[in-house]
Chains A and B, each alone.
Chain A
Amino acid sequence: MIHSLFLINHSGDIFLEKHWKSVVSHSVCDYFFEAKEKAVDPEDVPPVLQTPHHYLITVHRDQLFFLSVVQTEVPPLFVIEFLHRVADTFQDYFGECSESVIKDNVVTVYELLEEMLDNGFPLATESNILKELIRPPTILRSVVNTLTGSSNVGDTLPTGQLSTVPWRRADVKYTNNEAYFDVIEEIDAILDKSGTTVFAEIQGVIEACVRLTGMPDLTMSFMNPRLLDDVSFHPCVRFKRWESERTLSFIPPDGHFTLMNYHVSSQNPVAIPVYVKQNISFFESGPCGRLDITIGPKQTMGKTVEALMVKIHMPKAVLSANLTATQGNYTYDLPNKLLIWDIGKLNPQKLPNLKGILSLQAGAAKPEDNPSLNIDLRIQQVAISGSPRFVSTYNWATVFSHCSICFSPLCTGLKVSRLEMFGEKYKPFKGVKYVTKAGKFQVRT
């Protein structure tokens, strides 16, 4: 199983190591550094490396490498999943996952790692169990701890660890009972030069934030569940119910969690919310080129496209860009050859356009590789039921009257029809938010 873990930053310093079995010298990381030297980008370092005596399995997260050493035949996915879980836990505990924050909380980090693995076998990886074992640091607690000498390690057995619902702790109490669900769909698409969709699919996720007292048993049903044929669930979801009734029935974990991921494959038609008209060309003679990009709405389901942004990876020879944008600002990041055009809200009456001249390095040949456009965007909508008193705590921009009357803004058209609670007497406040985003949305030129 997992033998050791090394945390390494971008400049190649090992700033934390943890061994669950015997100690492995950190010279083993040299094989990784070698591979890192060879790679153009840090992302390009192969995740599984073979050394004479060990295997190195690495994930790259938030500018850090989580490098684990294994000695026996283990499923690499298991290790990779675990390493991502470690990063998630740091994020959850400290608000971010960075070298400085890990160094600031090194003892907590060490305690966490000790609880997460035993002899290389995962022990407690559920956030709520960990939090019962080791309380996350807060400013208040550290002050209190200093004054009273109490510790931030729990001394009770985490109840969830043995129950059949290990993701939920017992005796949860809230004065305001709320359950919020964000249905987020990301469009991954490749459009070709002429705007034709080469490939498009939807990655959907239902993120939940549930703060409910006791042991609530929730049921969520959809208007059009037949869309969901490729799903993966949080362990709390009862699979049998889903198979037979196509409803999600579950006892939720406490707090934030991902209820479900779904995937709508490229075989289904996918609504592409915007179109892009672009013309980037370089002259045969003279060190310059021309750029002209216009973006307009396509299938937006009547909703506003927000946070629109275009990123263009330019050929190496492009030195600078002299452009005019009818809306938003553009910047050219020379070292990374990245042109970023931040548009904001898309106004269908007045389409944003970016136009101008690109200048190339003197004497450079006409670039061989084509630039590629990546697009970011966001379309969202909110549906609420129950008493909207505490809406502000959730910090939503807009609140729509009732969920049953508004159309889903998702490109699949998926929509939650009901959310019911059993097992507890109180009436919770429920809300569903729909967001469509661009995932890996690429336009070829």
Chain B
Amino acid sequence: MTDSKYFTTTKKGEIFELKAELNSDKKEKKKEAVKKVIASMTVGKDVSALFPDVVNCMQTDNLELKKLVYLYLMNYAKSQPDMAIMAVNTFVKDCEDANPLIRALAVRTMGCIRVDKITEYLCEPLRKCLKDEDPYVRKTAAVCVAKLHDINAQLVEDQGFLDTLKDLISDSNPMVVANAVAALSEIAESHPNSNLLDLNPQTINKLLTALNECTEWGQIFILDCLANYTPRDDRESQSICERVTPRLSHANSAVVLSAVKVLMKFMEMLPKDLDYYGTLLKKLAPPLVTLLSAEPELQYVALRNINLIVQRRPEILKHEMKVFFVKYNDPIYVKLEKLDIMIRLASQANIAQVLAELKEYSTEVDVDFVRKAVRAIGRCAIKVEQSAERCVSTLLDLIQTKVNYVVQEAIVVIKDIFRKYPNKYESVIATLCENLDSLDEPEARAAMIWIVGEYAERIDNADELLESFLEGFHDESTQVQLQLLTAIVKLFLKKPTETQELVQQVLSLATQDSDNPDLRDRGYIYWRLLSTDPVAAKEVVLAEKPLISEETDLIEPTLLEELICHIGTLASVYHKPPSAFVEGSRGVQHKRISGNAVSGESVESPDNGSAAGVTEAPPAVIQSHGDLLGDLLNLDLTPPTTTGPPPPSSSGMQMGAMDLLGGGLDSLLGGDLGGNPAMGAGFGGPPAVMPASFNAPVGGGLDDLFDLGSGVGMPMGAFNPPKTVWLPAMKAKGLEISGTFVRRAGVIQMEMNLTNKAMSVMTDFAIQFNRNSFGLASAGPLQILTPLSPNQSIEAALPLSTVGPIMKMEPLNNLQVAVKNNIDVFYFSCQYPISMLFVEDGKMERQVFLATWKDIPNENESQFQIKDCHLNSDAASNKLQSSNIFTIAKRTVEGQDMLYQSMKLTNGIWVLAELRVQAGNPNYTISLKCRAPEVNQCVFQNYESVLKN
């Protein structure tokens, strides 16, 4: 006798038969019939036509039959709302039943019937059940509020159910507390700003008490709720941690991970020298390791979270490398995650083990896994310097296997190793070149071409190699084409004699035959550079490149902080902030680790994620050129330190006077370069083609490009606020002073306009500053030599120094000034933009930046919004650079550009910034970190004025 018999009726008129059975007098037959109906329902058959007949069976004292009918009702009430009303009376009656089980069942089922008309009848029974004497009924009713809220939120608020629910947090029964918390958390998700879960020390205490006694699921809800609380001080933080720690030994992995979240977050509050801090760190490792012995699905989620934890606090698992070793029968998704964590944990101490493992993995069957393993070897080399040599030799061994995809991956990572340790491992180039023909993936080809170009002087047949690539130029992917172009230009600069033809060929391929604007633009830039100033070209193209570092694959600090607060959630699995999720998070609050000074302000404006804001199209070509140039500069050029003035467009080809590549090339090109007004004879090739192809775009685009180029590194674009009236004439017996501050070539100047609006001549001007926050003082006397006659204006520039006496002002950038003339002494105060104080060498090294960012405590971080700014990130970066705010790195994550910037004040204070720019969103978010957080507000204001100017 099994239930499968319910599936067997396939005859015609099945519904009809069931109808007859449902109306049978025999109880047993009725029940069997309902079971058949349920069975059909479970496999998705439509049995809604039987609604009235099934509902008729509801009036029964047989609990099983009642439950079955309820099951049916929940499924079909939506499609038969009028019929469902018939059931209401029975529900209301059941809610009064003497048996708490029936009361609970009734209120539970009513909540599942998603029909508006029924919900109206639900309110009264629900209110009673929320205050029922039996905790089982109360806990069921708590969940029912959440159900009702999902159907009709307004009704729930109007009826005051939310308050009742909040009261249940203080219930005597732990299960009721847990369910109330769960219900409130779910409701809160759709009301991001409501203070539903208003946590205070009393409620926290209640929750912690309930935590020990409720079911495992209840513990998850309570722990997740606790994680939203911000303790008042480190003592409270510690006491919560102490009470949460036992949860780490729970058999349910979800409880464990939620407890880890609470501890990771509250740990931030604890002073690091506290003994307890160390104890806690030690306690966190074993449960995390244990998660890895669970089912693979659990392992996967655990690994994604461990990945975050090791980035934030590598010390927790630093001795546990071996548990991440990949097992043969791990599912592929577990293997890949383990590999990632292995690299993050790799250090000098364990590198030998790790390498041996990675080598083992690179002989496995699964191609994706093998590729990642090979790549991992390269990452190890970059991360652990001492191991680089061993890594390189391992990679060489792998190349010897001649397995195609292994070779390609190996070449890609060796390129990175070269960029990290220049002039160390070039001896392997010969081996790499042997495998040139087997490379068929763009990334590997591009990497190989880069290597050939970069080390052209050491590769005898570099020109042949590159030429062979050039044959199929148009079939290559853009990545390869760009790389080939750059490589050949490098080659030319290194071995100009043999490669002229090659470079001409590639330049014409790139500029004339290609439809790809990136490629064309890069081609023009090189061409122009080579033709106007080959020395500069050499300086630019062959400049020393910045070393790469392992930090490139780390999650940026602010996102990581946010994700740590979301351990155990979907956000932690995807490593995306919850706001990035399309559905579900109908406005999730941005969580930040506590201790943040402005944590209250860090809530993103609600229109941020969803706004389908129309992006303003970049206004001009210049903009996009700017991007390109920016890219290019980032890629492998150092920013041009000096750029000549833009050549007059008529003489765009003026290169006769140029000394191509110095004397060496002069002789090479026969020294008769000057003879050809448009083009060096040797270099220019067929002159007819060159100017033609050049002139048209050059006249417009390229000139713009150079205009822009000259703007990039020079202070002339710096933002200077317009002059404002500081001292009105009425207050100063006819003397009006307006002025502004500028910083030119490292010198701060106060530029003033003095106007005599009085009737008599003014003489004997002098100026003095009160003590101020940054010690600004006049570096010389006020130079007004001639007397100022009535209605006359005079310009005066006063150079300032920053070595004067210091006193903290409010606001920080306030300056009190006294001006004297033959009539009287006048006082006024003005505010200078803090960017005046940003020095020119405010660009921090990347590594130093990262370390400093981590080092500055979170309390010193402030977050601000810059609204209505329509620049893209590169334009913004250029603009800011002119004010000595330097962009150190840029990353693009989920369509968001993150700019990492630094600036240094005249008094040596560093300010670090992270600027987030989202395409299509005019609101920027900026986080500022500084050891002297008082300056943050000023710096922010400065950003705003620079960017909006």
- The answer to whether B332 and A153 touch across the interface, beta carbons within 8 angstroms, is no
Chain B residues, CB < 8 A from A234? 251
Alpha-carbon gap, A245 to B302, bound state (A) = 31
Chain A residues, CB < 8 A from B583? 52-54, 71
Which residues of chain A from 205 to 237 have any CB-CB distance to chain B below 8 Å in the complex? 229-235
A335: min CB distance to chain B, Å: 15
Partner among A55, A157, A265 whose Cβ is within 8 Å of the Cβ of B323: A265
User: Which residue of chain A has its CB nearest to the CB of B288?
Assistant: A230
Which residues of chain A from 372 to 406 have any CB-CB distance to chain B below 8 Å in the complex? 372, 374
Interface string of A144-185 (1 = CB under 8 A from B): 001001011111110001101010000000000000000000
Partner among A103, A111, A166, A199 whose Cβ is within 8 Å of the Cβ of B67: A111
Q: Assuming the A-B contacts A43-B331, A77-B302, A232-B251, are A52 and B582 also in contact, with contact meaning beta carbons closer than 8 angstroms in the complex?
A: yes
Partner among B2, B31, B213, B570 whose Cβ is within 8 Å of the Cβ of A74: B570
User: Which residue of chain B has its CB nearest to the CB of A104?
Assistant: B2
- The answer to whether B108 and A118 touch across the interface, beta carbons within 8 angstroms, is yes
Alpha-carbon gap, A108 to B3, bound state (A) = 8
Quick one: which of B150, B289, B356, B570 has the most chain A CB within 10 A?
Answer: B570
Q: Assuming the A-B contacts A121-B179, A368-B403, are A74 and B42 also in contact, with contact meaning beta carbons closer than 8 angstroms in the complex?
A: no
Among B140-148, B460-468, B664-672, the stretch that binds chain A is B140-148
Which residues of chain B from 289 to 341 have any CB-CB distance to chain A below 8 Å in the complex? 289-290, 293, 295-298, 300-302, 319-320, 322-323, 325, 327-329, 331-333
Partner among B100, B183, B258, B366 whose Cβ is within 8 Å of the Cβ of A75: B258
- The answer to whether B329 and A233 touch across the interface, beta carbons within 8 angstroms, is no
Of the four ranges (under 10, 10 to 19, 20 to 34, 35 or more), the interface on chain B belongs to 35 or more
- The answer to whether A76 and B6 touch across the interface, beta carbons within 8 angstroms, is no
Chain B residues, CB < 8 A from A164? 213
- The answer to whether B4 and A106 touch across the interface, beta carbons within 8 angstroms, is yes
A-B contact count (CB 8 A): 269
- The answer to whether B329 and A162 touch across the interface, beta carbons within 8 angstroms, is no
A147: min CB distance to chain B, Å: 10
Alpha-carbon gap, A243 to B247, bound state (A) = 13
Per the CB 8 Å criterion, the residue count for chain A at the interface is 110
Among B357-365, B515-523, B709-717, B792-800, the stretch that binds chain A is B357-365
Alpha-carbon gap, A368 to B301, bound state (A) = 32
Which residues of chain A from 235 to 266 have any CB-CB distance to chain B below 8 Å in the complex? 235, 239-240, 242-243, 258, 261, 263, 265-266
A250: min CB distance to chain B, Å: 13
Chain B residues, CB < 8 A from A80? 253-254, 295, 297-298, 301
Chain B residues, CB < 8 A from A78? 217, 220, 254
Partner among A57, A106, A154, A229 whose Cβ is within 8 Å of the Cβ of B3: A106
Q: Assuming the A-B contacts A142-B1, A442-B327, are A110 and B136 also in contact, with contact meaning beta carbons closer than 8 angstroms in the complex?
A: no
Among A15-23, A276-284, A418-426, the stretch that binds chain B is A15-23
- The answer to whether A266 and B215 touch across the interface, beta carbons within 8 angstroms, is no
For residue B43, CB closer than 8 A to chain A, the reply is yes
- The answer to whether A233 and B585 touch across the interface, beta carbons within 8 angstroms, is no
- The answer to whether A110 and B251 touch across the interface, beta carbons within 8 angstroms, is no
For residue B584, CB closer than 8 A to chain A, the reply is yes
Partner among A59, A75, A103, A263 whose Cβ is within 8 Å of the Cβ of B569: A75
Chain A residues, CB < 8 A from B224? 75
Main secondary structure of the interface of A (DSSP, over half): mixed
Among B417-425, B536-544, B571-579, B618-626, the stretch that binds chain A is B571-579
- The answer to whether A103 and B403 touch across the interface, beta carbons within 8 angstroms, is no
Partner among B6, B320, B363 whose Cβ is within 8 Å of the Cβ of A107: B6
Which residues of chain B from 80 to 114 have any CB-CB distance to chain A below 8 Å in the complex? 99-101, 108, 111-112, 114
Q: Assuming the A-B contacts A75-B224, A198-B325, A444-B360, are A121 and B182 also in contact, with contact meaning beta carbons closer than 8 angstroms in the complex?
A: yes
Alpha-carbon gap, A315 to B99, bound state (A) = 65
Interface string of A46-62 (1 = CB under 8 A from B): 11101011110111100
Alpha-carbon gap, A44 to B331, bound state (A) = 5
For residue A26, CB closer than 8 A to chain B, the reply is yes
For residue B786, CB closer than 8 A to chain A, the reply is no
Which residues of chain B from 173 to 190 have any CB-CB distance to chain A below 8 Å in the complex? 173, 175, 179, 182-183, 186, 189
- The answer to whether A46 and B300 touch across the interface, beta carbons within 8 angstroms, is yes
User: Which residue of chain B has its CB nearest to the CB of A25?
Assistant: B44
Interface string of B248-264 (1 = CB under 8 A from A): 01111110111000000
For residue A84, CB closer than 8 A to chain B, the reply is yes
For residue A436, CB closer than 8 A to chain B, the reply is no
User: Which residue of chain A has its CB nearest to the CB of B31?
Assistant: A151
Chain B residues, CB < 8 A from A315? 365
Q: Assuming the A-B contacts A76-B573, A110-B71, A374-B328, are A119 and B300 also in contact, with contact meaning beta carbons closer than 8 angstroms in the complex?
A: no
User: Which residue of chain A has its CB nearest to the CB of B257?
Assistant: A77
For residue A34, CB closer than 8 A to chain B, the reply is no
- The answer to whether A440 and B329 touch across the interface, beta carbons within 8 angstroms, is yes
A55: min CB distance to chain B, Å: 6
Chain B residues, CB < 8 A from A342? none
Which residues of chain B from 1 to 43 have any CB-CB distance to chain A below 8 Å in the complex? 1-4, 6-7, 27-28, 31, 35, 38-39, 42-43
A selection of 29 A-B contacts at a CB cut-off of 8 Å is: A41-B331, A48-B301, A73-B570, A73-B585, A75-B224, A77-B568, A104-B3, A104-B4, A106-B6, A106-B39, A111-B68, A118-B108, A119-B111, A119-B143, A119-B147, A121-B183, A121-B217, A146-B1, A157-B101, A164-B213, A190-B327, A201-B323, A230-B290, A265-B320, A266-B323, A316-B365, A369-B364, A369-B365, A374-B329
Q: Which 8 A-B pairs have the closest CB atoms?
A: A230-B286, A104-B2, A151-B64, A153-B64, A47-B297, A77-B254, A122-B217, A78-B254
Supplied contacts A106-B42, A198-B325, 5 more A-B pairs, CB within 8 Å: A75-B258, A80-B297, A155-B63, A164-B213, A235-B250
Could you tell me which A residues sit within 8 Å of B by CB distance?
1, 14-23, 26, 39-41, 43-44, 46-48, 50, 52-55, 57-60, 70-78, 80-82, 84, 100, 103-111, 114, 118-119, 121-122, 125-126, 139, 142-143, 146, 149, 151-157, 161-162, 164, 166, 188, 190, 192, 198-199, 201, 203, 229-235, 239-240, 242-243, 258, 261, 263, 265-267, 313, 315-316, 368-370, 372, 374, 440, 442, 444
